[in-house]
Amino acid sequence: MKISYFPGCTLKTMAKNFEDSAIASLSFLGIEMVELPRWNCCGTVYSLTSDDLIHQVAPIRNLIRVKEARDTRVVALCSMCYHTLKRANKLVKEDQEKLDKLNNLMYREDVKYNGEVEVLHLLEILKNEVGFNQVSKKVKMPLKGLKVAPYYGCLLLRPPEVGLDDPESPTILKDFLESVGAEAIDYPYETECCGSYHTVVNVNLVVERAHDILSFAISQKAEAIVLSCPLCGFNLDHRQKEIKEKFPDFKSIPVFYFTQLLALSLGLDEKVCRFELNFIDPRPLLKSKHFIGGV
């Protein structure tokens, strides 16, 4: 099975650990993610201004690339890319006038877009097409004894019309974790915003918010966090340095992309997980559980 794949910008830089582990895992499961040619940035965030149509050119142009590739579906890994593409797609499917205007704004050589493409997140592929029960059957090293707090943040779940699970009581990450043998920790901060772009203008706010999210997970005996958004990853993983400076008693906790745990459980080469790119090194924890080599 092949499916068009939109990587987005961060997966080619700071989140290579996300991309490499995803591609290797899906290949093992019999799915080839075919990267779109000539893709561009998704626009990074969906514009909430109703008359800001120019902001929708970037995501719609990527959906045109899917059509040019003779596909009708595209999968994204990054929660923000998924959210931006899916909301832009919903907009043009429901408003023919805006769709016509956007088509007129495209390059002359671009084909016309008519809303033919379905935008999916990789978690949806794993749940609905591979099946978590089938993932379990492929697992070679169940992550037994690993207590993980699933973190959704905002963009996988809200608004409900584009979210991939219940915005108040999601289970898809919990179900995924159980399929690879890990224990999912329930905690009330799993759907809270990480601070998002305040990380640029108000680092102190993000540090405090990340501290609350991580500390509560730790208080519930979580040994790690799992997520699917590079920006959430930055705020919850990389910002732990600032958290420690502001809250000296804070104990660091590893943060994984869900695909890293998937690759590990499938018995793939540790190299595809690119753990060296995680800010808080997860390898001591994984070694203590005997999931990777070493003492």
CATH value at residue 79: 1.20.1050.140
Q: Are residues 148 and 282 in the same domain?
A: yes
Picking from 94, 122, 150, the residue at the C-terminal end of a domain is 122
Picking from 122, 153, 183, the residue at the C-terminal end of a domain is 122
Domain contains 294: no
Domain contains 268: yes
Check pLDDT > 60 for residue 295. no
Q: Are residues 38 and 78 in the same domain?
A: yes
- Reported as a single tens digit per residue, the pLDDT across 22-78 is 999 999 999 999 999 999 999 988 887 878 899 999 999 999 999 999 999 999 999
- Reported as a single tens digit per residue, the pLDDT across 194-215 is 998 888 889 999 999 999 999 9
Q: Are residues 64 and 207 in the same domain?
A: no
Beta strands in the chain (DSSP E): 2-6, 32-35, 73-76, 118-121, 147-150, 183-184, 224-227, 255-257
Cis peptide bond upstream of 159, omega within 30: yes
pLDDT of 108: 76
Domain contains 113: yes
Check pLDDT > 80 for residue 1. yes
Domain contains 207: yes
pTM: 0.97
pLDDT of 203: 94
Mean of the pLDDT values across residues 6-10? 97
28: Cβ–Cβ under 8 A, 6 or more apart, which residues?
Answer: 138, 266, 268
For 76, the token pair is 């994204």
Q: What are phi and psi of 54, to 5 degrees?
A: -60, -25
Looking at residue 108, its amino acid is R
Q: Which range of residues forms the domain containing residue 94?
A: 2-122
Picking from 97, 122, 147, the residue at the C-terminal end of a domain is 122
Q: Are residues 143 and 270 in the same domain?
A: yes
Q: Are residues 92 and 141 in the same domain?
A: no
pLDDT of 51: 84
As a whole number, the mean pLDDT across the chain is 96
Check pLDDT > 90 for residue 8. yes
- Reported as a single tens digit per residue, the pLDDT across 229-267 is 999 999 999 999 999 999 999 999 999 999 999 999 999
CATH value at residue 180: 3.40.50.11810
Q: Are residues 45 and 116 in the same domain?
A: yes
Q: Are residues 154 and 252 in the same domain?
A: yes
Mean of the pLDDT values across residues 280-285? 98
